[in-house]
Structure 1
Amino acid sequence: MVLFRRVLGDVLRSQRMQRGMTLREVSAEARVSLGYISEIERGHKEASSELLASLCGAMDVALSDVIREVSDLIVLEEAALAPVALPVARPATVASAA
């Protein structure tokens, strides 16, 4: 099962690190506790839409870009978890003798 909050946390952490920002910097800019941001990045807490918008604003990243990246990663994870149908070999038929 794919957990949205885990994928979202991974994307937020990746975005923060790409920008060279610390949790402390994002916390101060977004006015959200450092501990809570850490819990979100680890996928332990759900982010409300308002909180997510605040985090994106603090990192100067478009909310739509974060949601798009999360969506793309979920598609990949769902595909990886989907059952794969394996081909079944049919036994060779023996030609009947005339």
Structure 2
Amino acid sequence: MVLLRRVIGDALRARRQGQHRTLREVSTAANVSLGYLSEIERGQKEASSELLAAICDALGARLSELLGEVSSTLSLAENMEGVLVPVDDPAAIDPVRKVATDGRVSVSVRQDSPLKATLHTKRNAKRDVIYAA
């Protein structure tokens, strides 16, 4: 299972790093504590829609852009064979990293347990804003 908060955090971090900005700069602009923003970026905390909008505003992005990126990442992950499906036998899990791309974003997933998958994304640098994860 891919956690939505993890994908959102990856997208926020990629956008921030693409702008060469620090957590401190963005947390001050969004009026959120540095520690909380760090937890959001690492997928450890779920941000409210109001907080996501404030962070996006601090990054000069629309919330719809961020959610569109998250949606395309999840869509790509959902189409990867055996990634977002329940596993009856935990011993049958293949922890090998699976990779998929649609030309704009690359997704790699490592299935660690029936309910834990680590998803990493990387956005194509040819877009107007550079993304890295």
Class of the TM-score when normalised by the shorter of the 2 chains? 0.7 to 0.9
1:5: Cα distance to partner? Answer: 0.3
1:60 aligns with 60
1:11 aligns with 11
Say which SS state the counterpart of residue 21 (structure 2) adopts: coil
SS at match of 2:72: helix
Which one has a larger percent strand, Structure 1 or Structure 2?
2
Give the secondary-structure state (helix, strand or coil) at the position aligned to 1:71: helix
Q: Distance in 2 between matches of 1:28 and 1:54?
A: 11
Distance apart, 1:20 and its partner CA = 1.1
Please show how residues 64-83 of structure 1 align to structure 2 within 5 Å: 64-80=64-80, 81=83
- Root mean square deviation of aligned Cα: 1.1
Distance 2:75 2:3 in 1: 12
Gap runs ≥5 in structure 2: 86-133
Q: Identity over the aligned pairs, expressed in percent?
A: 57
Gaps of 5+ in 1: 84-98
Largest Rg, 1 or 2: 1
- Structure 1 segments, 4+ long, off by >4 Å, are none
User: What CA deviation, in whole Å up to 9, does each residue of 1:28-59 have, x standing for no partner?
Assistant: 10110000000000000001000000000001
Q: TM-score, normalised on structure 1? A: 0.81
Comparing both chains, which one has the higher relative contact order based on Cα–Cα distances under 8 Å and sequence gaps of 6 or more?
1
Aligned position for 1:27: 27
TM-score for both structures, normalised by structure 2? 0.60
SS of the residue corresponding to residue 70 of structure 1 reads helix
